[in-house]
Structure 1
Amino acid sequence: MTATYVVSALAEPVEILVDRWGVPHIYARSPDDVFVAQGFNAARDRLFQIDLWRRRGLGLLSEVFGAEYVEQDRAARLFLYRGDMAAEWPAYGPGTERVTRAFVAGINAFVALCRDRREHLPPEFTDHLPAYWAPEDVARIRSHGLFANLGDEVARALTLRDHGPDVEDLRRVREPAGPLRVPEGLDLSVIPDDVLRVYRLATGASRAGLDGSNNWVIGPSRTASGRPLLANDPHRAVTLPSLRYIAHLFAPGIDVIGAGEPALPGISIGHNGRIAFGLTIFPIDQEDLYVYETNDRHEYRYQGRWEPMERVRETVPVRDGDPVPVELWFTRHGPVIHEGDGTAFAVRAAWLEPGMAPYLGSMDYMRASDPEEFVAAMRRWGAPGENQVYAAPDGTIGWRPAGRVPRRSGWDGTLPVPGDGRYEWDGFADVDELPSVRDPEQGWWATANQRNVPDGHPVLVTRDWYAPFRYERIREVLAARTGWTVEDCLRLQTDYVSLPARLIQPLLDGLRDDDPKVTAALETLRGWDATLSAGSGAAALFEVWYRRHLRPALLEAALSRLVPADRRADALARVLPAEDEAADPRVDLDLLLSPGDRLGPPGTRERLILATLADAVADVERLLGTDQAGWAWGRLHRAEPAHLIEDRGVGSQPRGGSGDTVGATPYTPDFRQSGGATFRLVVDVGAWDASVAMNSPGQSGVPDSPHHHDLFGSWAADEAFPLLYSREAVERNLGDRIILRPSPEDR
């Protein structure tokens, strides 16, 4: 099928070849036109999603959804970038402003088309129209990045406040380890439980299903082809449509393919025919909560004097109602998110600094012609912190972490601090101070958000690293052999071996129980290969046992020796991890493998294992029936992508894995997959057409598009499709042809 659109922002015609998997290959005669076309096409496939992204980020939800969103709109406005745009644009590299203007012009061209011809409107626009964009919107919105440290900081403070450091040690592992020191002058008792409510209103949608990511590069000596391989599977919420959008941009000086976010220009994960690149979160501590003494004149104590807060007055438009005036308050450190009786709390965030719009820095590195240019571009990357791996056709592979790391002299950002002037950032560490790798001796390199900064490194990145088990499994498999292929990498991306399960299994040896069902369960788990496959009954038993019974019992036993009985339930709620995120099993495993006297007298561990396993068997029988032959993990654990605002979906698919496996599939209490790699990529570096990708449930967010959920089943089956690069291959697999023409007046 061929469709033609008139796009007034274009200088010359553009051709978009949509392949049979829904990937648009955009061919233009100038860089300006290719980005106009990228914006137009992103709006064609994802208009409601990107319109909602803009409204949420700018604080304009109430304008179309009503007064119930006024509080969220006010919160969002607190976290907008409010600096000088003339200085902002150059921070991302040459040409970023021009590219963004072209991209936004393309979005606005499709918005104008929808406003003029309503048959093009996606069905979600039932009673409002999409808005026009300003180029500044792309850079001013900051709250869509992945920044999680503030939540850890406050959770740690509240746990210390109520239960002390021993209980905090059961909540979260800190790396590097060391005693917690409450900053001098900080009164933990003044921090309210809901201190982050406004912050979460502003940023919470971007954190739904917050999870890790995996990437690796394999050098020529370890591949079957003698060419490097690069694999990346970033993990985010399982939504309809997905966060990522795959596109191919071709124009003089640019030929890049891969995924980005549909509301942003360019490509952040992919390749450009000269270098391949992929990212995972490098969890830099880029946030701090400041606690102030205040008076009734909106002043706060700073360096021995009263300093006035800055007030910004704005008006929030409201659907079917009068506009609502709001006041935004700021200290020298950042937006004020909570005020109490004589106290106030503000957030300092590196991502509110100039040049820190999340992922916009990819505009610079996606054009790199070689590893040196790619690494140089990382010096300008701001947020979020990323592990960038890269590979080039000459065989070069490498790892370069990037992102601005605040310098904190005499304190480490692990807890909130007084805002009285004693705890200031001393600029940022230079990216060259971070470790990096080029052509590692072992012939491969991998990251999975684990701590990859060596002991004694002079730059403290964070103490809140992700658990290492996904990385350890990747390392185990990559190091085991050579002859790697694209297909092998895809299998590793969807590997469901649970290292926590493997570590727990030896504890079952020698255990006996009078209950025949428990005896059968022990035998099932002892003989299991620790793979959480969708069809495995042992996997269903283990996950229900470990997460719903064993983990709470272990933590409760440990707490019983630390916390009075009347406060134990609250303490347990504090230390239990959120299962629908990247739950960390390190505390549980430490209690199991090295209990000492922390669980109670000798034999307590074994009694806990047997008692909780009995409860788990009864639980699984309730969930799946008494016939163990019918048990299967995928009968419980399913993917059901949720629409952004509506109560509709695309069906349900069985899933393997958990939040602890390389093929990460964390889940909610009802076992529904909440996050994971809906986008996957494996690049055959140099044989570009042999690369593969996946983007579930489909490329388009338009319900009547053939690419709305055409990839959901193959994604759930851990498959991929060819990520075609050459025009010849694209033409052989053509779905639709779209012609964009400039208007006669513009020409």
Structure 2
Amino acid sequence: MPDAEDSQTVFEVPGLAAPVEIRIDRWGVPHLYAASREDLYLAQGFNAARDRLFQIDLWRRRGLGLLSEVLGPRYVEHDRAARLFLYRGGMEEEWRAYGPEVEPAARAFTGGINAFVEMCGRRRTLLPPEFTLLGYEPSCWEPGDVARIRSHGLHYNLGDEVARALTLRDFGPEAEDLRKVREPSPHRLRVPEGLDLSVIPDDVLHVYRLATTAPWAPASGSRSAAPRTGLDGSNNWVLDSSRTATGRPLLANDPHRAVTLPSLRYLVHLSAPGLDVVGGGEPALPGVSIGHNGRVAFGLTIFPIDQEDLYVYRTDPQDPSRYFHDGGWESMVRVTETVPVAGGEDAKAELRFTRHGPVIRRLPERNAAFAVRAAWLEPGMAPYLGSLGYMGARNADEFTEAMRHWGSPGENQVYADTEGTIGWCPAGRVPVRTGWDGTLPVPGDGRYEWSGHHEPGTLPSARNPRSGWLATANEMNLPPSYPNAERTVTYDWYAPYRYRRIAEVLESRRDWTVADCVRLQTDHLSLPARGVLPLLDGLDGVDGRAGQDPRVARALGVLRGWDGRLEADSPAAALFEIWFRRHLRPALLRSALHRVLPEPDGQLERALARVLPAEDAASDARVDLGLLLSPEGRPGLEDPDEVRRVLLTSLADAFPEAERLLGDDPGSWEWGKLHRSLLRHPLAERVRERTGGEPEWMTVGPAPRGGSGDTVGAAAYTSDFRQSGGATFRLVVDVGAWDESVAMNSPGQSGHPDSPHYRDLFSSWAADEAFPLLYSRAAVEQHTERVLTLRPASGTA
């Protein structure tokens, strides 16, 4: 931080009842010690602002629809969209849904943020430089801001629902089967009675995307209806005492999100009478969602509950603001708001709502309108705010009881307590859809309504399994006995390859350590690669092709003998990823589509563009491997000769691309020369436009990276091979020997460029390392780098 703050270790903070001590360790993790929970949450808000003020100010502005107020007219449409997806119910009902602790925590936390914001007004050296570069001031918060903002969460499955409908509309069900696997299988799609697929426009989700995607996010190549499930996965597992070298349980968690500067998550230790919790959360929210409290350790991954539906309405030809429902016409609710705009006139945002939710598209020329029903717009569904209810649990039973009240997003929680109990507890609000399953949009005429939500206890769970371990990685993990047809969770799950690799390695030994868990979190073995490689055996002599085409022979020479590990220094990994993603996958799908389309020549390329996953979401190889390894019954690849032809022609095309990208000598190729992590500040381009340049701190990296979206050490990437998603935050907890736990949070704990902790962890993260996550007071004091004291402001205690 700036020199002025370094010399000042005491801050007077309005609202505190007693002093709070903040010890910052050498890795930038703050350890907060307070005399009450109210003071603790106030200090947490103050400290979050101290380290991440610009990030959380941007979070608030984007969520409330206030970007235009400081960034200008280009953000008006984003602001309008964000306002459509705010929580608009009563705050009394909202706070009550979380339990008694959340409103006081939110009030204290935002009070702490405001105290730091006001301090920046008096001491300009504390102000992060982005505000000066962009020419505006940070804002104060209302307590309700942390609950009303919903559009930053992970939402499912509207994108898949619409992508499915458009594919069915244009190319039919066999093409849709090539777009994405549905589980549990078999699952037959049924177009809901009364739904006219032709009325759904290609851009129906444009406004929804504006609301749920940051306007500065790099373009992913995704089509308007494509799902965003390429980046937002996670891994977690828990091992009981029979599986570890120490006889203590271990818990590991590495959530996967977009790779950003600063990172999405923030590590903090919160200690007050009755609460002593350490771990990660989001800096704009009070509490900790992943970590431990000295009695129970907990870690989450996405359990992709279908909490969304697109409703398609027939509107009144005489009045497009009326829609047909339950035998009569209903009027949309109209709300008009003013959007303040820097450097221009204030804009009017006309928002419309139906009984189901916000209207995202109107099509009067087709007498149609479209609205979103989302469970996450209901009371008690602000993303991750419910973690305040479980982070103080004293044992496994209290933890799982608290999870009964969890709302959004759907989560697989694994947990372990000091009594040796381990468990898996999925949670989240599951809508009841009687007679329909949510896989496609539905008419909004009253025939397709939610009938409440399934009781929390109806989801499966597990505790103390005979195997001695539990793991989740967003895969379809409903047991065979679960009645998904009657109590549908979703049919859109992630690929199983990360889970299968985790299970394979966990099952292989009984002497696990913390270091072993870190190695598994950063494991780069690709199960899709391991499945494809045997198909290359014997290809040299097929029709003499390899002998005729030296490119194929050289490609086979690089890939043969490779173990399928996507290490950063591997030549074979580089060639495989170029081949598999950019050549083999399109060739397989093109071959399959050729035989399922009634007029393939005219539609083939358009259909291929529809079923190909977006480049940075291409971490699901189930369709590809199904076509290669189980071609029986798959349209277009029943003939083994066709499989061989596709393999050979795609290899012949991939090898020269690898030469173009990496040079003529395959021995010098390295996956990490292509696949790199380069972090960019979200508003770097905006600063460049405003000032004519940008500071060097707005870029961190690049660093070579191993892995892909298919590996446990997840590293999804865009078309230019830049890492777009993965685990910048990791945690391994040694249950009972808490100071032996480790963590990672790249590029650093602070979002302030002048802080020594702005990017100090980037290189060790890129090298797949971890640092100690301290818990005991003695260990914290031993590694304290700096001490801050917050004391009550004069006359306010």
TM range (shorter): over 0.9
Corresponding residue number in structure 2 for 1:490 = 518
Corresponding residue number in structure 1 for 2:430 = 405
Distance 1:260 1:492 in 2: 23
Displacement of 1:250 after TM fit?
0.6
Q: Does 1:101 align with 2:107?
A: yes
Distance 1:585 1:8 in 2: 55
Counterpart of 2:756, as a letter, is P
1:66 to 41, 47, 72: 72
Instruction: Give the 5 Å matches for 1:425-436.
Output: 425-436=450-461
Contact 2:161-2:441 within 8 A present in 1 as well? yes
Distance 2:707 2:452 in 1: 42
Aligned pairs, how many?
A: 747
Displacement of 1:176 after TM fit?
1.8
Corresponding residue number in structure 1 for 2:162 = 154
Corresponding residue number in structure 2 for 1:467 = 495
Distance 1:624 1:693 in 2: 34
Q: Does 1:327 align with 2:327?
A: no
Q: Does 1:236 align with 2:257?
A: yes
- Output one character per residue of 1:89-128: Cα deviation in whole Å (capped at 9) or x when no partner: 1211221100110000000000101122221111110210
Instruction: Between 144-153 and 264-273, report the one with greater CA deviation.
Output: 144-153
Counterpart of 2:703, as a letter, is Q
Counterpart of 2:288, as a letter, is I
Contact 2:497-2:527 within 8 A present in 1 as well? yes
Corresponding residue number in structure 2 for 1:672 = 722
Contact 1:212-1:582 within 8 A present in 2 as well? no
Q: Does 1:261 align with 2:282?
A: yes
Counterpart of 2:558, as a letter, is T
Displacement of 1:325 after TM fit?
1.7
Distance 1:149 1:209 in 2: 13
Structure 2 SS opposite 1:106: helix
- Output one character per residue of 1:146-187: Cα deviation in whole Å (capped at 9) or x when no partner: 013000000000000000000000001001232111000000
Structure 1 SS opposite 2:208: helix
Structure 1 SS opposite 2:9: strand
Distance 1:543 1:630 in 2: 16
Alpha-carbon spacing, 1:238–1:110, altered in 2? closer, same or farther (3 Å): same
Instruction: Between 64-73 and 274-283, report the one with greater CA deviation.
Output: 64-73
Instruction: Give the 5 Å matches for 1:456-535.
Output: 456-458=481-483, 459-512=487-540, 513-514=546-547, 515-535=549-569
- Output one character per residue of 1:361-405: Cα deviation in whole Å (capped at 9) or x when no partner: 000000101111100001110000000000011110000000000
Displacement of 1:578 after TM fit?
1.6
Displacement of 1:67 after TM fit?
1.2
Question: What RMSD in Å do the two structures reach over aligned CA positions?
Answer: 1.2
Instruction: Give the 5 Å matches for 1:18-167.
Output: 18-126=24-132, 127-167=135-175
Q: Does 1:199 align with 2:179?
A: no
Instruction: Between 454-463 and 237-246, report the one with greater CA deviation.
Output: 454-463
Distance 2:557 2:666 in 1: 13
Q: Does 1:347 align with 2:372?
A: yes
Instruction: Between 3-12 and 127-136, report the one with greater CA deviation.
Output: 3-12
Instruction: Between 92-101 and 362-371, report the one with greater CA deviation.
Output: 92-101
Contact 2:596-2:636 within 8 A present in 1 as well? no
Q: Does 1:368 align with 2:393?
A: yes
Contact 1:208-1:237 within 8 A present in 2 as well? no
Corresponding residue number in structure 2 for 1:443 = 468
Structure 2 SS opposite 1:306: strand
Counterpart of 2:328, as a letter, is R
Contact 1:583-1:659 within 8 A present in 2 as well? yes
- Output one character per residue of 1:691-732: Cα deviation in whole Å (capped at 9) or x when no partner: 000000000111111000000000000000000001111111
Counterpart of 1:547, as a letter, is R
Counterpart of 2:12, as a letter, is V
Structure 2 SS opposite 1:26: strand
Distance 2:639 2:616 in 1: 33
- Output one character per residue of 1:227-265: Cα deviation in whole Å (capped at 9) or x when no partner: 000000000000000100000001111100000000000
Distance 2:230 2:311 in 1: 27
1:186 to 195, 214, 218: 195
Counterpart of 2:357, as a letter, is G
Distance 1:57 1:208 in 2: 21
2:764 to 710, 714, 723: 714
1:608 to 637, 646, 649: 646
Q: Does 1:733 align with 2:783?
A: yes
Contact 1:209-1:236 within 8 A present in 2 as well? no
Displacement of 1:651 after TM fit?
1.8
Distance 1:618 1:521 in 2: 9
Displacement of 1:581 after TM fit?
2.4
Corresponding residue number in structure 2 for 1:633 = 671
TM-score w.r.t. length of structure 2:
0.93
Contact 1:209-1:237 within 8 A present in 2 as well? no
Contact 2:12-2:794 within 8 A present in 1 as well? no
Corresponding residue number in structure 2 for 1:742 = 792
Contact 1:289-1:347 within 8 A present in 2 as well? yes
1:645 to 683, 700, 710: 683
- Output one character per residue of 1:189-215: Cα deviation in whole Å (capped at 9) or x when no partner: 000000000000000129696321000
Instruction: Give the 5 Å matches for 1:528-607.
Output: 528-563=562-597, 564-581=600-617, 583-596=619-632, 598-599=636-637, 601-607=639-645
Contact 2:473-2:498 within 8 A present in 1 as well? yes
Contact 2:739-2:774 within 8 A present in 1 as well? yes
Corresponding residue number in structure 2 for 1:692 = 742
Counterpart of 1:539, as a letter, is A
Corresponding residue number in structure 2 for 1:7 = 13
Displacement of 1:604 after TM fit?
1.2
Contact 1:48-1:130 within 8 A present in 2 as well? yes
Structure 2 SS opposite 1:440: coil
The share of aligned pairs that are identical, in percent, is 68
TM-score w.r.t. length of structure 1:
0.99
Displacement of 1:582 after TM fit?
5.4
Q: Does 1:270 align with 2:291?
A: yes
Distance 1:556 1:642 in 2: 36
Distance 1:704 1:522 in 2: 50
Contact 2:230-2:709 within 8 A present in 1 as well? no
Instruction: Between 392-401 and 560-569, report the one with greater CA deviation.
Output: 560-569
Counterpart of 2:382, as a letter, is A
Structure 1 SS opposite 2:657: helix
Contact 2:413-2:424 within 8 A present in 1 as well? yes
Name stretches of at least 5 consecutive residues in structure 1 with no aligned partner: none
Structure 2 SS opposite 1:407: strand
Corresponding residue number in structure 2 for 1:623 = 661
